[in-house]
Amino acid sequence: MTGPKAAAMAAAAQRSSPDAPLAPRLDIRSTPVVIRWVGNGPEAIGASLSSTSATLDIDFDPSCKAACFRFRVALSQRGSNKIVPVYLLVNSQQIKSVAGSAPRPVGIDDAAPDDAVQNLIFSLERPPLFIMPSSGLHPKDKTQSALLASARSAARTRELFVDVRSNLLSQDQLTALCNTAYQDLGASSRLANLASFYGGRGGKVIELTGLFEGLAESPPSYGDIGAPPPLSSASHGATESSSKKRRLESPVDRSWDISHIESICKKICAQQYDELRAELSLSQARIIDSLEQRLDARISTLSKDCQGKLTTLEARVQNVEDEIRKLDDACNSGLTRLEEEIQKVNEDIGWRVDVEVDEHVTGMKIELEDYVKSELKNTEDTLKEKLEEASFSLVFKE
């Protein structure tokens, strides 16, 4: 364990740098994994990465300040071929640190000889959330029951060692996972929304405190339980006689039983209180999600309405602009025609004035000539008459 611890310390040292760039988003779904942890002894889910019993979903989005890791363990159900999974949910607030070890070669079924696995080490503030269907689980056989028990054991630990294929994460992605301060991030709505589990039927969070470990697990099938050994008549008689003798003895001190019952009741109340808090938090999350969805829907509707009205207004403005442009063109055309008509009228008036002036002047000249001729004629006639009537006298002077 020296290598993983050293990697964790190195990752913690890198996270302390304030100038670390913003990591890109990482979205990985249903990648096979091997989950290992230390419980009562070394335990694991999955023998190799070719196993489909355990998969991992990763939603890591530092830009939205959200991260979530979801482990899925598939279980075969009794009486059908249906596969119903259980989930181990690790939100960002549960993560103390994530460290990665160097890739190491490993023998993987149906894999190339040079394939390798990489180990991710999750150090948690709180154990993962164990999520199961509300209708309960009915494992098919002892193997599936053991797998369920292993998943529940993993949900009580605070350190998980997860083997993934070495080509799953690039070096930059691995560095981003290891250098992130998860306490500053929130839960991912894509993976942590319990209402979306099990085809929209929702999941149930089970708090595993270790006291009532077998409550959520269904009993084994009758085929897995052998017949009890028969009781001999002698042992039966001895049991009856010993019980009768105990009834005749003095009363037993019940103080230990009462204190034990009180501790059990306290643990039951604490468990119910934790379950109530979990249900309240889930209800709050569902209400917030519902309100956000309704708000988003309302905003989307208002946006569509505003967009439609804006489009209509733009069309009307465009129509007004077209009408104004047409009127402007018509006015320009009318003004052009008016100017042409004025020009024609001016030309016609000038021509008419010239013609009338010429005619008037010509008429006046003709009248004047006629008058002059008439006057001259009269004068000539008068002179002739005067000359005819005149008498001449000649006086000669010496």
Give tens-digit pLDDT for 320-340.
Answer: 999 999 999 999 988 999 999
Question: Which of 72-76, 104-108, 190-194 has the least mean pLDDT?
Answer: 104-108
The structure tokens listed for 289 are: 């999600």
Cβ(128)–Cβ(88) below 8 Å: yes
The structure tokens listed for 126 are: 């709180």
Q: How confident is the model at residue 7 (pLDDT cuts 50, 70, 90)?
A: very low
Residue type, 244: K
Instruction: Pick 148 or 218 by higher pLDDT.
Output: 148
Mean pLDDT for 94-123 is: 72
d(CA 174, CA 120): 9
- Residue 234 confidence (pLDDT): 43
d(CA 148, CA 191): 21
Residue 162 has pLDDT above 90, yes or no: yes
Question: Which of 179-183, 187-191, 352-356 has the least mean pLDDT?
Answer: 187-191
Range among 86-90, 106-110, 138-142 rated most confident: 86-90
- Residue 394 confidence (pLDDT): 65
The structure tokens listed for 319 are: 């129509």
- Residue 52 confidence (pLDDT): 67
Mean pLDDT for 141-161 is: 90
Letter string b/e over residues 22-32, b meaning 16 or more CB atoms within 10 A of that residue's CB = ebeebebeeeb
d(CA 174, CA 393): 163
Mean pLDDT for 125-140 is: 89
Q: How confident is the model at residue 373 (pLDDT cuts 50, 70, 90)?
A: confident
Q: Which residues have a Cβ under 8 Å from the Cβ of 25 and sit 6 or more positions away?
A: 60, 61, 62, 63
Letter string b/e over residues 1-20, b meaning 16 or more CB atoms within 10 A of that residue's CB = eeebeebbeebbeebeeeee
- Residue 3 confidence (pLDDT): 47
Q: How confident is the model at residue 391 (pLDDT cuts 50, 70, 90)?
A: low
Mean pLDDT for 132-142 is: 87
Q: How confident is the model at residue 128 (pLDDT cuts 50, 70, 90)?
A: very high
Residue 258 has pLDDT above 80, yes or no: no
- Residue 327 confidence (pLDDT): 92
